[in-house]
Structure 1
Amino acid sequence: MTILQTIIVQKQQEVDSLLQKKQPTFKTTKQPIPFKQRVSKARDLQIIAEIKRASPSKGDIHTDVNPVEQAKQYALHGAAAISVLTDASFFKGSMQDLADVANAVDLPVLCKDFIIHPVQIDQAKAAGASIILLIVAALSKQQLKHLYHYAIDHHLEVICEVHNLNELQTALELNPEMIGINNRNLKTFAVSMQTTEKLAKHLNKEEVLFISESGIHTRNDAYAASKSGAEALLVGETLMRSKNISKTFQQLQVMKQKRRKHHAR
């Protein structure tokens, strides 16, 4: 099995368990400005700054992080949103992390998980998420459509994450507001920054905001993403390992560049 398949098997077990028990309640009252609105108005490439303790490919990254303190640092240095990895089994996160962060900052908070069932969306919203991620590679077309509309109906923003052209075409059928191009192949966890550049050429709709995700470490990476037309970056490991968060933000917040139109030949 691929890493993604292994994760989805585990998620199915978690969903079965969630459906059988009463959901914990979280106190969240904040209603931040929508992420897409924030990014669209900005002159510079915006950053979704991620809280990630560990990953299947990198092992432990920063297991003893204080999510609230980390989120406050991110907010202070100009993050447009905070992403919280809530998966426990593979990334050592939790919904409590998300709830704590959502209460601590006035920014949109993304629930980063492998969502396969509406109960996970309910849980994310209850914990204070204002954005969810739907991974096209993890879902059938029918599941994707159902979960996408379920989230929109519950007043959540949705990032549809893709890694190849087939997935991008599937996502675009939904007429989504936001596409996340993941430079990491979730089947092998190998990373190629050229993924953003290759797929961006097929994103002709200017109203679709697109985010480059994974493998972003340097100013050159940020420039390359911006040149492809990305308006935001999702950055996890680089920020989690950073000894100077302010400097890391400064390196990555380059000017946005107008997306070029690619006409079919």
Structure 2
Amino acid sequence: MDILRKILEVKAQEVEEAKRREPLSAVRRRAEESPPTRPFLESLSAPGPEGVNVIAEIKRASPSKGTIRAGLDPRAYARAYQRAGAAALSVLTDERFFQGSFRDLQVAREAVEVPVLRKDFTIDEYQIYEARAVGADAVLLIVRAVPPDFLRDALSLCRELGLGALVEVHDEREMETALARGAPLIGVNNRDLTTFRTDIETSIRLRKQLPAGMPMVAESGIGGREDVERLLDAGIFNFLVGESLVRAPDPETALRSLLGTAAGSRF
């Protein structure tokens, strides 16, 4: 059994448990009463001041690597990322496999002014209302994890709630599905979710399939400035970076290096 399938099985159980604790009607009401979201899609629509946008991730662990940063302080990381010039944040909220939580997302968002993506495995509309209710500005939708009709309906619900959506693909067929269902922003995951190996050539290859002028996000496997420059040469200017920043002794300096700006950390 591959890792993604196991995660999705557990996620389905978690969603049903959440529905028993708080019914959909209550979560929907909280979502609809939440303050306005921050502009996630707009922040990634054009290159930033240095020609690069980074969605900097708060990530405690992963199924393939185990614990990445014990005792991670989401507030300190969020502030360091914003000081360095992050266009947005991504916060893992999956607890079982990534040691994340809604609390991490809320603490990080309260500390900064940039938009925040809820990074999780979204398989039910309940989770979209939930994301809006806890303060997320955008959600991740993984094409491989859901039926095409759910993807279409989820994107419609995101628009209704004012949430941004990053639609993640891994190959040409998934890209076709995402575009056909109206994805506003495509993220190409360079990590194979079956083996968890990474190869940034995936982003370079799939970039050619996007409509002219449509931005995309390269996800996973971006370890340093040389990877950023290689992807910039392919016309990609948005990057989601997690592990290399979280493992760095100084995440602010590490992010400045990716952006190509001078160091000057206060982490």
Give the structure-1-normalised TM-score: 0.90
Q: CA RMSD of the aligned region, Å? A: 1.9
Q: List per-residue Cα deviations over 1:3-60 (Å, max 9, x = no partner).
A: 000000000001111111127879975743x123223262421100000000011111
Mean Cα displacement is larger for which, 174-183 or 3-12? 174-183
Given that 2:152 and 2:182 are in contact with CA atoms closer than 8 Å, whether structure 1 keeps it comes out as: no
Q: 1:163 aligns with which of 158, 161, 170?
A: 170
Q: List per-residue Cα deviations over 1:87-134 (Å, max 9, x = no partner).
A: 000000001111111222111000000000011111111111001110
Q: 2:253 aligns with which of 227, 247, 255?
A: 247
Residue 85 of structure 1 pairs with residue 92 of structure 2: yes
Residue 38 of structure 1 pairs with residue 43 of structure 2: yes
Matches within 5 A, 1:14-163: 14-22=14-22, 29=35, 31-32=37-38, 34-39=39-44, 40=46, 42-43=48-49, 44-163=51-170
Given that 2:78 and 2:109 are in contact with CA atoms closer than 8 Å, whether structure 1 keeps it comes out as: no
C-alpha distance in 2 between matches for 1:84 and 1:73? 14
C-alpha distance in 2 between matches for 1:71 and 1:7? 26
Distance verdict in 2 for CA 1:28–1:62, change over 3 Å: farther
- Structure 1: which 5+ residue stretches go unaligned? 256-265
Distance verdict in 2 for CA 1:96–1:246, change over 3 Å: closer
- Structure 2: which 5+ residue stretches go unaligned? 262-267
C-alpha distance in 1 between matches for 2:36 and 2:166? 20
Q: 2:221 aligns with which of 215, 221, 225?
A: 215
- The alignment-based identity, stated in percent, is 38
Cα distance, 1:175 vs. partner? 2.7
Give the structure-2-normalised TM-score: 0.89
C-alpha distance in 2 between matches for 1:231 and 1:184? 18
Distance verdict in 2 for CA 1:53–1:170, change over 3 Å: same
Q: List per-residue Cα deviations over 1:208-242 (Å, max 9, x = no partner).
A: 22000001001110012212222210000011011
Paired positions, count: 253
